[in-house]
Amino acid sequence: MRFAKYDKARMLKETDRVECEGQLGSSLYFKVYSGDKVYQVSFRGPKKQWLCDCQYFVIKAKTCSHVLACKLWIKEHGLPPAKPTG
């Protein structure tokens, strides 16, 4: 059964499948556990660009459910403390 990407994102966040690895400078790093796969998601602050290594994001260059789940995570938890750069 395929979920609409917004429903899937909500399910990923609500079932604690989004793990924030932290913030380095203005970039954020996440792991998203979906099925038997782990996806790397990042937000590059200076360019305000989200990236995900899933096939959907790479091929279609469109926002995927993993990125949406990370956005929902930030909305609920706020930004993590920044780690110093350098």
Q: Average of pLDDT values for 59-72? A: 96
Looking at residue 46, its pLDDT comes to 82
Domain ranges of the chain: 5-83
1, 27, 33, 44, 64 from 52: Cα distances, Å: 22, 13, 12, 11, 8
Looking at residue 78, its pLDDT comes to 86
Q: How does strand 82-83 pair with strand 18-24? A: parallel
Looking at residue 86, its pLDDT comes to 56
- DSSP annotation of 62 reads S
Q: pTM of the entire structure?
A: 0.87
For the stretch 27-62, pLDDT in tens is 999 999 999 999 999 999 888 999 999 999 999 999
Looking at residue 31, its pLDDT comes to 98
